[in-house]
Structure 1
């Protein structure tokens, strides 16, 4: 099985670490500093910002606004890596819009900044952390939607998802990341308003 480096130490970092653990992947967690708290499982490999990335897959489990700082440390190391963008760039001052360009997405903007050989896959942004940890949405398997332009990169992400016992659904090229971000926006807003639970989520019935 592949290995994964997760940059960030919040709830989604911990949730994706749980997914990777179920899939039998090697896991590295990169924290902002040695004193940063982490929601990830104990007993994993930990590093701090600037340490070498050991994973074949690299998950940016931080807000989109933190991407520039991450690229200062890791842009060249991300060459030949599969980079997974999980962000939902919601304007939390209004809870009424996405902050990504109207004709683009955080994933597409990230792809423009990465070196040749990097492959961006949008994934996990439509899933709340609790549904990744449990692997279920109610009584159904958690569905993870993903988008990207490179078949090999998408196959690697799908293999991780499926090895963790969840359903992976390819929604198309990276241009579909815009629609995934709109879905993620709706999901988070509904949960914040109490109209859904944080243990719930979108799914596709088989």
Structure 2
């Protein structure tokens, strides 16, 4: 059985927990407080704890805002060695909401890989709204989860969980493609903020 740890029990983190449980994974949820993690974990039969507890997942999903990533990477730096580390952040400049705060030639996920080179970093879930991860559909199409990364085995491990959960898992290419995924995520957020699309919808992928 695949073991997944989700750090961050907010809306997107809780949605990833639901996907991982449906995908047959043994799931651990860690939050700033144990109470927050419990609220996301208990209804789905997942274990829970507080940030700082020992990681149980071979796949660790960092479902925290971009500005909280550095602290988590520092806290668990040694523990991430050899693990699959999934970045779901969208590094939006929230002061202007008019761009990303990472260099145009890079991405949040690539910066993460540089910080923890021993981890196998993937970019995923940042182009999904939480509601469509829970429902599993956008309109009449399965929700598509785009996964970018340089480690083929790491991608297949995550894609296996996603597909078992009934979603459409798509290999989006190397970790360099995280830049494009973050741009798509940003565009989708701006459309949602302008009420051009619903938070229960989003951008879909038609085969």
User: TM-score range, shorter-chain basis?
Assistant: over 0.9
- CA shift digits 1:42-99 (9 cap, x unpaired): 2421111111000010000001111111122201000010000000011112110111
Q: Where does the alignment leave 5 or more consecutive residues of structure 1 unmatched?
A: none
Q: CA deviation at 1:146?
A: 1.0
Q: Distance in 1 between matches of 2:153 and 2:8?
A: 25
Q: Distance in 2 between matches of 1:41 and 1:204?
A: 29
2:98 pairs with one of 96, 99, 116: 96
Q: 1:174 maps to which residue?
A: 175
8 Å Cα contact 1:4/1:57 also seen in 2? yes
Calculate the TM-score normalised by the size of structure 2: 0.95
* Residues 151 and 11 of structure 1: CA distance in aligned 2, closer, same or farther (over 3 Å): same
Q: Distance in 2 between matches of 1:36 and 1:169?
A: 31
- CA shift digits 1:156-178 (9 cap, x unpaired): 11101101101111111000000
> Per the alignment, in what secondary structure is the counterpart of residue 93 of structure 2?
coil
Q: Where does the alignment leave 5 or more consecutive residues of structure 2 unmatched?
A: none
Q: Distance in 2 between matches of 1:155 and 1:37?
A: 27
Q: Distance in 1 between matches of 2:159 and 2:169?
A: 5
Q: CA deviation at 1:37?
A: 6.4
**What is the RMSD of the two structures over their aligned residues, measured on CA atoms?**
1.3
Calculate the TM-score normalised by the size of structure 1: 0.95
> 1:18-29 alignment to 2 at 5 Å?
18-29=18-29
Q: CA deviation at 1:33?
A: 2.2
Q: Distance in 1 between matches of 2:137 and 2:38?
A: 23
Q: CA deviation at 1:137?
A: 0.4
Q: Distance in 2 between matches of 1:35 and 1:160?
A: 26
- CA shift digits 1:134-192 (9 cap, x unpaired): 00001110011110001000111110110110111111100000000000000111011
8 Å Cα contact 2:37/2:50 also seen in 1? no
Q: 1:15 maps to which residue?
A: 15
Q: Distance in 1 between matches of 2:180 and 2:38?
A: 30
How many pairs were matched up?
A: 205
2:107 pairs with one of 105, 108, 111: 105
> 1:33-52 alignment to 2 at 5 Å?
33-36=33-36, 40-42=40-42, 43-52=45-54
Q: Distance in 1 between matches of 2:111 and 2:117?
A: 13
| More displaced 10-residue stretch of structure 1: 71-80 or 34-43 | 34-43
